[in-house]
Amino acid sequence: MSLRVCLSFAVVLLFSVRAPAAEPLNDAAALAAYFRAETAKLADRCLADIHSLDDWSSRRDEYRRQLAEMLGLDPMPERTDLKPVVTGRHETEWFTVENLHFQSRPGLYVTGNLYLPKGLEKPAPAVLYVCGHGQVKKNGISYGNKTHYQHHGGWLARNGYVCLTIDTLQLGEIEGLHHGTFREGMWWWNSRGYTPAGVEAFNGIRALDYLQSRPEVDGERLGVTGRSGGGAYSWWVAALDERVKAAVPVAGITDLQNHVVDGCVEGHCDCMFMVNTYRWDYPQVAALVAPRALLIANSDNDRIFPLDGVERLHAKVRKIYRLYGADERLGLQISPGPHKDTQELQVAAFRWFNRHLKGDAESTVENTGISYFTPDELRVFRDGLPSDQINTRIQETFVPLADEPKVPATKEEWQRLRDDWMAALKEKCFGCWPEEPGPLNVKKVASAESEERSFEAYEFDSQPGVRLSFSLIRPKKTDGTRGVLLTISPLPSAALMHEDFVNHFSDGSLGFGPIVKLPIEFDESETTVALFAPRGLVADGHQDDKARIQVRRRYMLLGQTLAGMQVWDIRRAAEAMRTVAGYENRPIRCAAEGEAAALAMYAAPWVRPAISIECGGVSSDPHRGPDLLNVRRFVGLPALAAMVADRSSVTVFQPQSPPEAESRWSFPAGLKAPLGWDDRRFKLTPIDVPEREPAAPQ
């Protein structure tokens, strides 16, 4: 009997399901083990294949390009007119300070203070000071973190350096955002390939441009320093821009072991991290400064930049400096204390700059760093903020998105376009997928029967150490030739084989009820229904929202996302189902809604043989949906639907709004004529159900 039913898991949710048995990645201990193993892979391979200077020299430029890409700077944005404006000056006995702003790109304002020594007889060396997270805000007015760190600029100027101290995006006079994934739920930053670290790096590079434009500055003797967040930005700028001849990042970097395994990521906002597309550990960033002068400075009891990670990083970077024969240009300065701007670290930085920017290794550093001005005196925008600023929404435009694809005129053009998309997805979005996925190791672990159907639960290895499960509900009256309707369940994978599930199935209470309102057409007496849930965050329910956020951020630091690995799980589940006796060659139709529908769509092009997709509730909001690394830079869901339809078929159920729906899905619909598709390849089906925003994966 051919039925049109509303496919659902509602009846499953009615079960009194006790806490399911622990399983990898849904159990806290197993999840920690996963992160340890993945971190170790990246740490072990970091710079491991560099054995000679030729090895390093032949790859350095590509590594620098990759870093720029991971910061959203490849291609590098155009270096437009800085339009610098000095809005005020103040004098001391030893130096002048100018309050100024420039635009690193049109509308992206950088506010800063320029400290100029008095009595200069020739251009002086200059230091760019990039600030950490020292907020100065009173009565609703942000004075910028440059005012918090002003003692560094004054001290440098008293010792003969020009110093430009610049505000950061979030804590500047115009307050942008650093906490997209940390606090604001903006997981779409991953899909866009955006990190505020890229903005900070670009602003620093443009600040060097500004310094070189000043007659007081010797543009061949530039240094960069900063602490905490400013330490991180010092790394980005020094690694990317060889105009920096000496760098002193203070408490701004450690390795993935500290961040992911030891949990230091939980103390950092997004500005500290690149989008780790190429799956680097952080010594690879630091190595890009070689052979220029680099002093790594840290205190010995810093909880967010622990000493053991700093020492591991230094040891790996030292290997590259030794290839250059430049041991004397790499230093490690450790002072006692917590995460604090100590005078010992400040003095070490001055001596380093003296040695490598002035050629003076002997002079004693005099004076101390003190604040000379009130925050209001160093304020740049005294008459209101500029109306054309884009600082507060730079995340919307900083990284270019993929162009809307045009329907190709020929089959050959389509094949080239499709192959380019597949290559980009493989390298830029799913480069985190296991190179060696290992055997599936499919094993039946539970079974039950009712009068009309049998139930079987199977476990399989999605990747080494990640064991998941799927369930098959088989009709007893079938000739064995019908296909499989694969449904993506919202339940944890273990729940689908829990004894309560099996018991309810056995007494005949398992059926299909309305929760996923997709009018999927299938023959209930002939079709096997498969239930599968990809890995989630937890299964035991004890994690709070903050803990869940930090789990997702750990994936992010490893060059993965939870959603990206869920796509992998769906792919492997389809392959595992085809190892079950009698199902080796059966067609698979995947039915899903909302977030799960998008995940299934991205999995489908990788499954062999091809599977078809029937989906609904896919949000058109670019700020929603699964956070797949960089994906919006290369291919969107309509283009992906075309890639799936090219191999099988896609049905999209849309609420009753034909003009909007047809416009959104015009690309796959437009391929019917040039590729000779029939209407079954891509079908847009209107339904009466209001579109619901997909829930975030759990």
Is 60 exceeded by the pLDDT of residue 299? yes
* Number of domain units in the chain: 2
Q: With b meaning 16 or more CB within 10 Å and e meaning fewer, what string describes 661-681?
A: beebbebbbbbeeebebeeeb
Q: Return the pLDDT at 27.
A: 76
Q: Which two tokens stand for residue 157?
A: 């100027």
Backbone phi, psi, residue 51, to 5°? -120, -15
Is 90 exceeded by the pLDDT of residue 442? yes
Is 80 exceeded by the pLDDT of residue 636? yes
239 and 312 assigned to the same domain: yes
- How does pLDDT run across 224-277, given as a tens digit for each residue? 999 999 999 999 999 999 999 999 999 999 999 999 999 999 999 999 999 999
Is 60 exceeded by the pLDDT of residue 689? no
219 and 323 assigned to the same domain: yes
Chain centroid, CA 47 distance in Å = 22
Is 50 exceeded by the pLDDT of residue 456? yes
Compute the average pLDDT of residues 135-150: 96
- On whether the CB atoms of residues 320 and 47 are closer than 8 A, the answer is yes
Minimal CA–CA distance to 562: which of 424, 422, 697?
697
437 and 320 assigned to the same domain: no
Q: Return the pLDDT at 259.
A: 98
468 and 380 assigned to the same domain: no
Domain range for residue 232? Answer: 61-396
How crowded is residue 370: how many other Cβ atoms within 10 Å of its Cβ?
10
SS3 assignment, position 225: strand
This prediction's pTM? 0.92
Q: How confident is the model at residue 500 (pLDDT cuts 50, 70, 90)?
A: low
- What CATH number should be reported for the domain holding residue 463? 3.40.50
Q: Which residue in the block uniquely carries the two structure tokens 């190791």?
A: 441
Strands 466-475 vs 453-463: parallel, antiparallel or unpaired: antiparallel
550, burial (CB in 10 Å: exposed 0-12, middle 13-18, buried 19+): middle
459 and 379 assigned to the same domain: no
Q: Return the pLDDT at 380.
A: 98
- How does pLDDT run across 332-355, given as a tens digit for each residue? 999 999 999 888 999 999 999 999
Is 80 exceeded by the pLDDT of residue 87? yes
SS3 assignment, position 589: strand
- On whether the CB atoms of residues 167 and 263 are closer than 8 A, the answer is no
- How does pLDDT run across 535-553, given as a tens digit for each residue? 985 444 446 788 899 999 9
- Per-chain mean pLDDT for the chain: 89
37 and 127 assigned to the same domain: no
Domain membership flag for residue 424: no
438 and 384 assigned to the same domain: no
Angstrom CA distances, 581 to 273, 451, 477, 480, 523, stand at: 47, 22, 17, 11, 21
Compute the average pLDDT of residues 480-500: 66
| Cα(517)–Cα(655) distance, integer angstroms | 11
377 and 504 assigned to the same domain: no
537 and 613 assigned to the same domain: yes
Q: Return the pLDDT at 82.
A: 98
446 and 345 assigned to the same domain: no
